A and B are shown apart, each in its own frame.
Chain A
Amino acid sequence: MSEPTTRAANMAEAARALRQVSRAKPVEILFWLLALASFLFLPDQYLLLNEVAITGLFALSLDLVIGYGGIVSLGHAAFFGFGCYLAGLLTKFGVPDPLMGLAIAAVGTGVLGFVTSFLVLRGSDLTRIMVTISIAVLLGEIANRLPGLTGGADGLQGVAPGLLLGRFEFDIFGQVAYGYSLAVTFVLFLIARRFIFSPFGWSIRAVKQNALRTSSIGIHVNRRLVVAYTLAAAYAGVAGALLAQTTSFVSLDVLAFHRSADLLLILIIGGTGYLYGGLVGALLFKVIQDFLANLTPEYWEFWIGMLLVALVLIGRDRVTGLPAMLIGKFRRA
């Protein structure tokens, strides 16, 4: 059909194009260098940064569900809270090792995600929203009704994780805590990134774009979504476990509706479907929240709500398109 040389060139070009998508871009490396720098040079902010890292991981998990799987969930806190309680209880019942706790929380929450995925994957967007909210509410009710185990409304007291790697103690300044959360988030991010650019990950993105076509090329759509949902649940569980271990406290609030809703806002701020949205959004959200909470301690939610409404009405593309446009101009110049 075409000259052998053209074919070779086409092959090389195609291989390059396929590889290039998954290659780390300089801005990504810069991002993680900045994260490392924050650990080295911002000791005053460890507590806040720890929260950012955990929330970022949690939002990354929701991004796998919404941004890649296309499933609208309003109850993702269920997995976060489940992992949180699981890790908290483990330290009380003989598994003080943080990493072991993390692993068990991941597996336990993954199982919960796997089981509930079959409820969530049925029905329309509305049904999904309701089922996801309900699962979170149900878990909240269970936690509330079992004060003997969970401490009920008073929260789980006496969470005491052991030494990290058998050497580092969680200090009150949060240095070990932040380092730990950041490292875990980084590792899980790398895994997620690998996953997303694998053929399996492509197939999940394909489902979101066009489920009909995806099934027509011979891919079992629902099985793919079950895997994505399970993985995301495990990630959320790890994020929750990190919170329990680094703050030594678990309250009913980890399962609350506003956590799921805030998480959506974080993704809207940061953008869905490119993995960094959760991390960037978490940072911006925490900064905005901090700023607003100082300004109007009781009413900051109002401004968050207004931000949400504005982002939807103006269109997030136009908001985030601005920096991209400027960068583009800068590059061309």
Chain B
Amino acid sequence: MLTNLFDGVAYGMLLFVIACGLSVTLGLMNLINLAHGAFAMAGGYITVVLVNRMGVPFFAALPLAFVLSALLGLVMERTLYVHVYRKSHLEQVMFSIGLVFMAMPAVSFFLGSEQKFITVPAFLDTRYEVFGVSMGAYRLLIILVCGLLAAGLQFIVARTRFGSQLRAAVDDPMVARGLGIRVDAVFATTFAVGSGLAGLGGALGANLLGLDPTFPVKYMVYFLIVVAVGGSAGMTGPLVAAILLGIADVSGKYYLPQFGSFFIYALMIVVLLWRPQGLFARPGGR
């Protein structure tokens, strides 16, 4: 029971780190980006290449996965995404699905279509028993890293000038511009960091979520749930939504294996019926 809870929390925090960038892009630019999972996949495969092929130590590969995914995100934002902000949601959906369709065969062309595992240091394979809760070291690491990241993000968004500018731009982009906030630069930065975090999450979660070229589609709805249920008003909503989702998914699959992911989708439909704007959306929000 508690072990499930523990696993669920680890899973949920991972989803949060991957998806948190998505909530900002939606809130700030009203952009529906279904290709966000592709950046997570990129981070996973970058780590596979670095660790398995080039022998880079796992812990050195993680920051690299972040940086390279962030760079990829920045380049994509400046060259491609920048052209679709003003387009309709339908076009944004088409555009981002197109990117997913390109990313999947590209990965299987260069790296093969089979599932990949990242070689992690041996000490991460052990399990600890604490008060009868069996905790895998790897999941503990995920909770630790993702917890630190969540706290760091919360700090940046809530305490720094950049965070204030970000929140101001989400609140009212037009007035923010009129008062001298460079909304486009704030957004590009956020997009890059969001992509980097997705990449880092993809690297950390590769062995847990299963890394193969179908990754962006397989988890698309999960990332969207975090955003739609969590809202885009801050970091807390998506974090809580992600952890709830993680716990629900893990326990659902454990206690009701015959239903598979049925449970989670049904739950989501119920939640969205109850609160169409998300569980944590502020009233009158976009």
Contact = CB atoms under 8 A, between A and B. Distances in A.
Given A129-B34, A305-B98, 8 more contacts: A74-B93, A127-B276, A145-B262, A298-B108, A302-B102, A304-B98, A309-B99, A313-B80
B26 to A, nearest CB: 7
A120 to B, nearest CB: 10
A131 B268 CA distance: 8
14 contacts: A66-B90, A123-B277, A124-B277, A126-B224, A130-B228, A137-B265, A141-B260, A264-B97, A298-B113, A300-B105, A305-B97, A307-B98, A309-B95, A312-B91
A122 B225 CA distance: 16
A123 B261 contact: no
A214 interface: no
B265 A138 contact: yes
A137 to B, nearest CB: 5
Interface stretch (B81-89, B174-182, B239-247): B81-89
B94 A122 contact: no
B95 A304 contact: no
B272 A131 contact: yes
Contacts of B265: 134, 137-138, 141
Interface string A281-310: 000000000000000001111101111110
Contact of B97 (A119, A141, A261, A298): A261
Contact of B101 (A119, A133, A137, A302): A302
A142 interface: yes
Contacts of B266: 138
A304 B101 contact: yes
Given A129-B32, A299-B109, A305-B100, A311 B261 contact: no
Interface of A: 66, 72, 74, 119, 122-127, 129-131, 133-135, 137-138, 141-142, 144-145, 257-258, 261, 264-265, 268, 298-302, 304-309, 311-313
Interface residues of B, number: 46
A324 B89 CA distance: 26
Nearest to A136: B265
A302 B109 CA distance: 10
B273 A137 contact: no
B221 A309 contact: no
A259 to B, nearest CB: 12
B261 A268 contact: no
A125 B221 contact: no
Contact of A302 (B90, B105, B261): B105
A144 B95 contact: no
A69 to B, nearest CB: 12
A124 B276 contact: yes
B276 A129 contact: no
Interface of B: 26, 32, 34, 80, 83-84, 87, 89-91, 93-95, 97-106, 108-109, 113, 217, 220-221, 224-225, 227-228, 258-262, 265-266, 268-269, 272-273, 276-277
Contacts of A134: 221, 265, 268-269
B105 A298 contact: yes
Contact of A122 (B80, B258, B273): B273
A93 B189 CA distance: 59
A56 B228 CA distance: 32
Contact of B93 (A129, A141, A298): A129
Contact of A308 (B89, B97, B258, B277): B97
A142 B259 CA distance: 8
B260 A145 contact: yes
Contacts of A131: 269, 272
Contacts of A308: 94-95, 97-98, 101
A306 B127 CA distance: 45
A133 B34 CA distance: 12
B162 to A, nearest CB: 26
A312 B101 contact: no
Contacts of A306: 98, 102
Nearest to B90: A72
Contact of A145 (B32, B89, B259): B259
A126 B220 CA distance: 12
Contact of A144 (B80, B103, B260): B260
A127 B26 CA distance: 12
Contacts of A123: 272, 276-277
B258 A130 contact: no
A254 B265 CA distance: 19
A125 B225 CA distance: 13
Contact of B94 (A135, A258, A302, A312): A312
Closest 6 CB pairs of A and B: A305-B101, A308-B98, A123-B276, A305-B102, A309-B98, A302-B105
Contacts of B272: 119, 122-123, 127, 130-131
Nearest to B217: A257
A138 B106 CA distance: 29
Contacts of B228: 126-127, 130
Contacts of A141: 259-262, 265
Contact of A133 (B84, B102, B220, B259): B220
Nearest to B101: A305
Contacts of B84: 312-313
A162 to B, nearest CB: 34
A309 B93 contact: no
B72 to A, nearest CB: 15
